Structure formats: structure tokens, C-alpha cells
Structure 1
Amino acid sequence: MGRIRRWAPRVVGIVVTLACLVGAGRLLWPQPGLDEQPGSTARQLAFVRDALDEGSATAAQELFPEGYVFSNVLYGLAWVQAAHTDPRLHDAALRESHWALARLESDEGKAIFSPRSQPSFGVFFAGWTNWLRGAILSLDDTDTAAVQRFSTHSSEIAQAFAAAETPFLQAYPGQAWPVDSTVAIASLRLHDKLFGAKYTAVIDRWLEQAKSRLDPTTGLLPHQVSPSDGSLMTGARATSQTVIHRFLPEIDPAFAKSQYARYRDQFLAYPAGFGPALREYPKGVDGSGDVDSGPLIAGISLSATVVAQGAARVNGDRELASAIGAEGELLGLPVTLPGSKRYAFGLMPIGDAFVVWSSTARLLTEPPTAPERDLRWWWRLPWLGVLIAIAIAPWAWTLSSLTRRRTPTTDRAEGIPIA
């Protein structure tokens, strides 16, 4: 027992130090470029699929109203994005994205949405589902029935926007969020990219109306608006901005560029020197977290920060995308196995769906741009400082003892060194 007591602290110290070294390696490891994706993408998708088969989408629905839709649509979209980057995944991507689309169109997928809305089931459901339809066709448009369904649903969405007095349609009866309409309009732009310009007038009208209803405080699209006229109810917030900036470059690159610059200026933060990360509220504004943002840590939304990687990728912001990816490898507690990879020990599979969708993000309608945007060059140093401190902590007493043994003391009366 005495030997165990002597060796146990050393074993713990070795484990802690090795864990910190692994963490430092993950933080410093080069991240994929904007035209690349993580080498673990297939393993991430394998974990998400297994989780979906075990009911993770239904479980996510119990956490927030769009849990089932997001769990499936992000999985399907991530496969399409991955296949555009790696053509070897083409056949698997078609199979899995069609499977995800079928789940979205099921009774369970539509259950909480109103079929009487315009478009049917509301703009959130209609927009995301139609974007997935178009994304699948961007890989293979030879299925005439699928092309016809995409055309029919696109026409319904376009008619709903054309008939509305506001650019921000309702997701649920009496509730409207601009981010949902942004996704739906992007699906119309994707339709025109694939099958010829048809909805240019609808898209141009939407852009004109949206620009006239920006949040006056930030100059960005609002978080929530009045369903009757699109007037401001809640100013810009990161949970919706990160998704908006994933889709806005698909619609209008020039408008997206100016909006992204404002978003980055208002929401990018380094709390206590750590970061980069995304504030949930603009600088100078404090607020509490909710079901969308999750708990806020020093004002930071972890969910918005994850999705911001995808927004950064499609806006040509390589530095920010790489930084968020590196932080995710450090703080996300990834567990990599031969056939799967999961974050946070796989406790929240919907989080893994957001991660793989964001880390594979790429434009489907427009060529990417590459504006120069810098981060603080020393952003890694605080993280490394913490890792070094934790790695050294288990050995502090040992190092102190060695120092005391090697430092001679003197007898104060005689001034004689005492060994």
C-alpha cells in the first residue's frame, strides 16, 4: 500500500501532463484550408448516422423545437458538402442525403409545423428542406422526379415571398426570424444556379426589402421581427447571424461581404484574452442565454462559435475558420476511434451534426472569395499558457523539494553553510 501511495500521484501526473501535450498538439496542428475538409469527416458522419439510427433526432426534438429537423438536414448537407470536396464520397453522399431528406419529409419531420402556413409548414421547414433538395441535385440532377419536386417547392416558396408585405416569412404562426427566410431565398438562388434564372425578381425584391429593415444598432439583419411587417423585435444575435452568414454569400456576395465585416466587428471576441469566440450579443450589449444559444460563458455562445466556422469558410475567412477548428479540437474533447469520431464524448449528437456541417461548409452557388482578415497573432498563447500550467501543476511539489535539497542554507550565527 505504501508503494501505491508513492506512485499514484506520479501516475496521475504523467496522465495529466500527457493529456496537456496532446491538447497542445491539437491546438497547433494545421487546420484544413477553405477548399479542404478534415480528414476525420467520414468518421464524424459515421458517428452521426449511428446516433440517428439510435433515435438522437427524436431526443434532440425534446431539447428544442427544431431538433429533429436540424439533426437530419445537417447530416444530409454535410454529406453533400463533403462529396463536392472529395468526389470519392459521391455515391455515399447521394444515398445518405436522400435518406436524410426522406426523414425530413416524414410525418415526424413535419409534426410541429403548420400545413396551413405559406409556404406549407412555414418558411423554416420549407427553406431548409428545399436547400437540401437543391444540394442533392448539385451532385446529380438526372432524377427527373427529384428535379420536378425541387421546382414545385421552389415555386411555392417564391410565390409566398412575392405575396408577402414583409421579406421575413413566418416559421410558426405569429413568429418570424429573418434567418429562416435567408435559407429559403438561398434555395431559390440555388435553383437558378442549377436550372437557369427564374427567381431573380423575387430574390432582388427580397434583398431590397431586407436592406430596409436592418437592425439600426448593428446594421445587420435582426434576430426576430414582427410577422406582419418585418419590423424589428430583437436586434442581431450571434446564433442567427452565424447561420445567416453561412447562406448570405449564396444569395448576394457583395451584400454578404459588407454584412460579414459588420458581424465580425460586432461579435468576434477574446474574453480574458482567450478566443477567438462569438459573443451572443453585440459588443456593449449583455443578455442571457436561451435554448438557441445555450448557456453563455463570459457572454460567449459555444453553439454560435461552432457554426461560425462554417460562416467563416464560405466568406473566405481562413484565419477564423482555422482558429475555431483548432479550438474545437482542444476544447471539444474529441474521441477518435477507427470507425467514428465524436465530440464531448458523444453526449450531444446534434452538436456533432453542427460541427461536421460547419467544418465541411462550402458555397454551392457562387465561387468563394478570399478577403484578407486577420486575427490576433498571439491568440494561441493564452491556451498554451493554461496547458503548460496544468501540465506542471502535478510536479510542483516534487520540483519544489528538489530545489530545496539543492539550495544550501547557512547558519545565521556562524555564517557557515549547512549541507
Structure 2
Amino acid sequence: MRIFRMLRAGLAVAVCLGALIAAVRLVVADDNPASVRRQLAFLRSELESGAAHDAQAMFPEGYFFLYALYGLTEVDLGLGRPPGERAGELTAARWALAALDSADGRAPFDAGLTPSYGVFYRGWTNWLRGGIVALDPSGPEAARFERDSAELAAAFDAAPTPFLAAYPGQAWPVDSTVAIASLRLYDKLFPPHADPAPGGRATPAPRYRATVDRWLAGAKERLDPATGLLPHRADVATGAPIEVARGSSQSMIQRFLVDVDPAFAAQQYRVFRERFRPWGPAIREFPTGVAGAGDVDSGPLVLGVSLSATAVTMGAARVQGDGRLADALTGLADVAGVPIDTPHARRYAFGVLPVGDAFVAWSKSARPWVSAPPAGPPPDLAWWWCLPILTVLLGIAIFSIFLSGLRAR
């Protein structure tokens, strides 16, 4: 009997300790680079074991996203280091880019599109390649970044719509937003120079300013009429909205739009925050007042909340300067995701879905690559949003102690 009492007491202590750890994680945001690096260590191990091919069997861009987000997170961490200390992140990001620039990376995409393989593939790879150039301007990626940026710009300039096709006959505005952000990154990394001679000409405009300005004007003419945001899907021929704005794509758009046009991004972000938050910091898949079911883009919904959109908004809030929401989402992820730490790795949800870990790592490391960090909108999340969850955790701890004592008696 004594050993059973000891086991019950030990279980009660474990439950109380777990509740305490969860409470601390909820209110103390852990976006430390060291924590993100432990996540990347887990992801690298999973990628080397074939996790990207497993993810591809789950959704159409599974392979691509797992490698892309791994590489982009390495770039984010590298940009936070002095130039002479980026070798590790640079090597890892190049490894990820090589996986994307392969037959497996291109397999889901159509070579006959304009640009070849579609704007999703070309936009994300150009963004990652540009990030590598930002880490190492003298590296071999610069020439390819220049060629691919020119091809993307030519495709946008020739199209009657700002939203290019990602797959035959299908266009998602979020994909074009990523591609346009990569052109803005090019203009930052390779700015034009004025003629230094006396009486020389004035500094010319950035190479892709006209393309970006034309894209912005066209995108603003094709906003979703129900929300005033960029639509989830658009007609591939005209760019007209054909599906209401949704959280799974809006969370991505808000992450990249700040590097395209900070003023437009700030306006769009305020609307997004207002229309897609049902309670606390969680993000809906559909705007308030619109019903819908989960699909391959959003994943399963929980009371209308999209777990993927919530995770990606963590990074969007961070680059938009919305620190309170970013910290709240980080805490929520560190409780709901039940992260398991070892001295060298961290995994969420017991590591059963590595692409989820990749989205969390990318969101925790988020930083603008082109624009200066914005001041951000006024906070609209009450400080007490976490009190109901803390109350539940306290109740669990008290109940475990009570139950243990009751059984002992």
C-alpha cells in the first residue's frame, strides 16, 4: 500500500509541475534563438530521415514547405548575427535551397507555366535565394537571384492580372505577394547608384520599382469586397476575387506584405486582426460572419480556428510590430503544442508532424528582410486574455492534489 501512496503522490507532483510549466510558458514568450536552433536540430534530423517526402503525401506542397521553412528560419537566425558569424546558417540554408532546386522540389509544379513551374515555386525559391544573398552578397547565388528576379518581373509586367498562376488555371494572391517581396529584396540588396562625376545624372529608380508599383495598384483594385483584404483565390485570367479572404493565406500575406509596402501592409493588418480573431489570440480560417469548413489549405478547424493560420500569424504579428499578439501566440503554441525539450532538440506535438514544427520555428524567428521594423498598431489584445487558461491549469493542479489525498484516505 505504501508504494501505491508514493506513486499517487508522485503523480500529483508531476501533474502540478506540468501545470506550473504550462502556466509559465503561457505568460513568458520563448522566442529565444537558442530555442529555435533546437527546433532546427530536430527538423534537420527529420529531413535527413525522409520527413519531407512524408509531408508531400499529406498535402501538395509538403516537401517544398518543410525544406523552404527550414532554410528561411536559418536565414532569419543568420541575419541576427554579425556578418562574420553566419557560416553555420548559410551552409544550412544552401542545403535547403539545393533540395528545392531539384527534381523532387519541382515535381508538383508545371514547367509550362509563366514563369516556369509557376509563381508559387519561383516566388518562394527566389525569396530564399535572396535571403542567402543577404547573408553572403559575394556568394554564387547572386547571379541566379538576378536572373530569376528578372524572369519574375517580366512575367508580372506581361500579365493582365497581378496574381500569376501557381498551378494551371489556379491563382492564389498570397503566392504573388511572396514573389513581389523577392523583387523588393533584390532592390534592397542591389540598389542603383548615381553617377559620381560632377554634374552626373541623378540616382535612378530601383530596378523593379515600376513592377512593384504596378502590382500594388492592380492588387488594390482586386480586393475581396467582403473584407477589403486580398482574396484567398483569384481568377487566373483577370485577377478578380473568386473566394473570400481566409486566415490560412492572410497570415502569410501579412508576413510578406510589410516588405512590399509598409503603409499598405499596416492598413491590411489592422483589418485582418479585426476580422479573424474570434477570442483571445487565436485566428479563424474564415472572417467573422462567414461559415466554412476546413480543407487542404487550412487543415482541420477547431471551432472555426485554423491551427496553421494561428501559427503563421505569430510571425506576421512579429514583423508587423504587434508584440503583444506575437507573444500571446508564442505562449499559446508553447502550451497547446506540448513541446518536448532535450539538451539538443525541441519538438512540438511529440514530433509527429514536423511541418508544424517548421511553421512554429519560422514564426518565432520572424523579422522583416526589406523594410525597417514598424512601430506596429496599438495593442488590441487585453492583458487578461490568458486568465481562463491559467484558471484551468490551476484547477488541474488542485484537483490532482485533492484526488491524491482522497485516495490516500
Is structure 2 residue 249 aligned with structure 1 residue 243? no
Give the Cα separation in 2 of the matches to 1:70 and 1:217. 30
Instruction: Find the partner of 1:178 among 173, 187, 192.
Output: 173
Look up the match of 1:416. none
Contact in 1 for aligned 2:110/2:118 (Cα 8 Å): yes
Look up the match of 1:135. 131
Look up the match of 1:146. 141
5+ residue gaps, structure 1: 406-419
Contact in 1 for aligned 2:9/2:404 (Cα 8 Å): no
Give the Cα separation in 2 of the matches to 1:395 and 1:91. 51
What is the aligned-residue identity percentage? 51
Look up the match of 1:390. 396
Look up the match of 1:295. 300
Give the Cα separation in 2 of the matches to 1:380 and 1:319. 12
Give the Cα separation in 1 of the matches to 2:242 and 2:257. 21
| CA pair 29-228 structure 1, distance change in 2 beyond 3 A | same
Shift of 1:4: 4.1
Is structure 2 residue 254 aligned with structure 1 residue 217? no
**CA-to-partner distance for each residue in 1:242-284, whole Å, 9 max, x for gaps?**
00000001000010010000000001221xxxx3110110011
| CA pair 89-358 structure 1, distance change in 2 beyond 3 A | farther
- State which drifts further: 85-94 or 207-216: 85-94
Contact in 1 for aligned 2:315/2:364 (Cα 8 Å): yes
Look up the match of 1:69. 64
- Matched to 1:47, the amino acid is F
Structure number with greater Rg is 1
Look up the match of 1:19. 18
**CA-to-partner distance for each residue in 1:107-137, whole Å, 9 max, x for gaps?**
0000111111001100000000000010100
Q: Calculate the TM-score normalised by the size of structure 1.
A: 0.91
- Matched to 2:9, the amino acid is R
| CA pair 81-195 structure 1, distance change in 2 beyond 3 A | same
Contact in 1 for aligned 2:132/2:141 (Cα 8 Å): no
Instruction: Find the partner of 1:361 among 363, 366, 373.
Output: 366
Contact in 1 for aligned 2:29/2:328 (Cα 8 Å): no
- Matched to 2:225, the amino acid is P
Contact in 2 for aligned 1:225/1:231 (Cα 8 Å): yes
Q: Calculate the TM-score normalised by the size of structure 2.
A: 0.93
Give the Cα separation in 2 of the matches to 1:315 and 1:141. 26
Is structure 2 residue 62 aligned with structure 1 residue 53? no
Instruction: Find the partner of 2:88 among 88, 92, 95.
Output: 92
Contact in 1 for aligned 2:90/2:132 (Cα 8 Å): yes
- Matched to 1:98, the amino acid is R
Shift of 1:353: 0.8
- Matched to 2:310, the amino acid is T
| CA pair 21-94 structure 1, distance change in 2 beyond 3 A | same
Look up the match of 1:317. 322
- Matched to 2:210, the amino acid is A
Look up the match of 2:335. 330
| CA pair 336-31 structure 1, distance change in 2 beyond 3 A | closer
Contact in 2 for aligned 1:82/1:89 (Cα 8 Å): no
Give the Cα separation in 1 of the matches to 2:353 and 2:56. 12
SS of the residue corresponding to residue 147 of structure 1 reads helix
Give the Cα separation in 2 of the matches to 1:229 and 1:22. 52
Look up the match of 1:125. 121
SS of the residue corresponding to residue 378 of structure 1 reads helix
Give the Cα separation in 2 of the matches to 1:301 and 1:225. 21
SS of the residue corresponding to residue 233 of structure 1 reads strand
Instruction: Find the partner of 1:373 among 379, 389, 395.
Output: 379
Contact in 2 for aligned 1:222/1:237 (Cα 8 Å): yes
- Matched to 1:391, the amino acid is A
| CA pair 86-383 structure 1, distance change in 2 beyond 3 A | farther
Give the Cα separation in 1 of the matches to 2:258 and 2:29. 26
Contact in 1 for aligned 2:42/2:347 (Cα 8 Å): yes
Look up the match of 2:268. 259
Contact in 2 for aligned 1:9/1:394 (Cα 8 Å): no
Give the Cα separation in 1 of the matches to 2:8 and 2:340. 25
Shift of 1:10: 2.9
